[in-house]
Every structure is written in structure tokens, then in C-alpha cells.
Amino acid sequence: MIVAGAFMAPATVASAAGKRCPAGTEDAVIAAYADVFSRATPLPADQRAASLDGADRPAVRALLDTWLASPIGASTTVTVNDVRCRSASRAGVDADLVLAGVPLPEVMPTGRAVRENGTWKVATSTFCTRMILEDPALADAGVCAR
């Protein structure tokens, strides 16, 4: 199990078809999840945004910046349990929400990572899912509305 921001043990990288992700994919996806979701690790907002798909869109960046400035969720992180490559630019990510060191398995649905210009990033939809856990109103308005 790997806590975003703290490596504990290797994650599994097999896809549903049993194929392995290309070398380096697992580490890159885990690093992207850590950059975005591990607020215990001090990183500039621009570095976090660089690991988030869609952060170049003002509404996505504003949500990221608002979340980073809020004390809500400051003691949470995400544990990546499994990375499955679906294509050269898409991966499924099984991850658990960890609140104050306590894993909450199955709270987060399967997430996604996308590869843009050679860089793996947390998909906007996964970021929104995580944000909606803290503020359900986000599901009804703004960039995360469904």
C-alpha cells in the first residue's frame, strides 16, 4: 500500500487484462496523486496544479487553490493501492481516502490518471470526486457539477 506522499510498499500495476503498465507509470501516477492530494507535503500550488489535469482551466485551478487555502481536509491524503493501464494515456487508480492516518477503504470510487505530453496527472473527474466528499454542494454547481 502506498500513501500519497509516503512510500510504504509497492503498489500493484497489473491491468484487468494482466498486462503491465509501461516502466515508470506506477511511480509517476503515485507521484501525481501525492502532489495533488497530500497537503502534509509542502508544495507550491503551481507544482500541485502541474499534476492535475485541467488545472489550466480557471475553474479547476480556483477549486484547487480554494481547497489548499482551507483547513478542511488538511489532515487527509490518499493511499494508492493499484494502478491499471487502460491505454498509453489512461489509467485506472484504486485509492483509499486516509483521514488523520485512518484509512477509509471504498470511500473513493475508482479514480483515473491521464497522460498529457508525457506527464501523468490526476484526472479532473477524480479531483472533483475527492472534493465532493468534503463539500457535497460541489456536485450541484461549478466545475464538478454532474
Lowest mean pLDDT among 31-35, 59-63, 73-77, 127-131: 73-77
Helices 58-69 and 124-134, axial angle in degrees (round to 10): 40
**pLDDT tens per residue, range 41-55:** 889 999 999 999 999
Tens digit of pLDDT for each residue in 109-120? Answer: 999 999 999 999
Q: Please report the pLDDT score of residue 19 as a whole number.
A: 57
Q: How far is residue 85 from each of residues 15, 26, 29, 134, measured CA to CA in Å?
A: 6, 9, 10, 28
Over residues 72-86, the pLDDT tens digits come to: 888 888 999 999 999
SS3 content of the chain, % helix, strand, coil (to 5): 35, 30, 40
For residues 32 and 100, is the Cβ–Cβ distance under 8 A? no
Give the residue extent of every domain in the chain: 2-144
Phi/psi class of residue 106: alpha, beta or left (left: φ > 0; alpha: ψ in -120 to 50)?
left
Global confidence as pTM: 0.84
Q: Which helix (H) or strand (E) holds 69?
A: helix 58-69
The answer to whether residue 13 scores a pLDDT higher than 50 is no
Neighbours of 111 (CB within 10 A): 23
Q: Which CATH architecture has domain 2-144?
A: Roll (3.10)
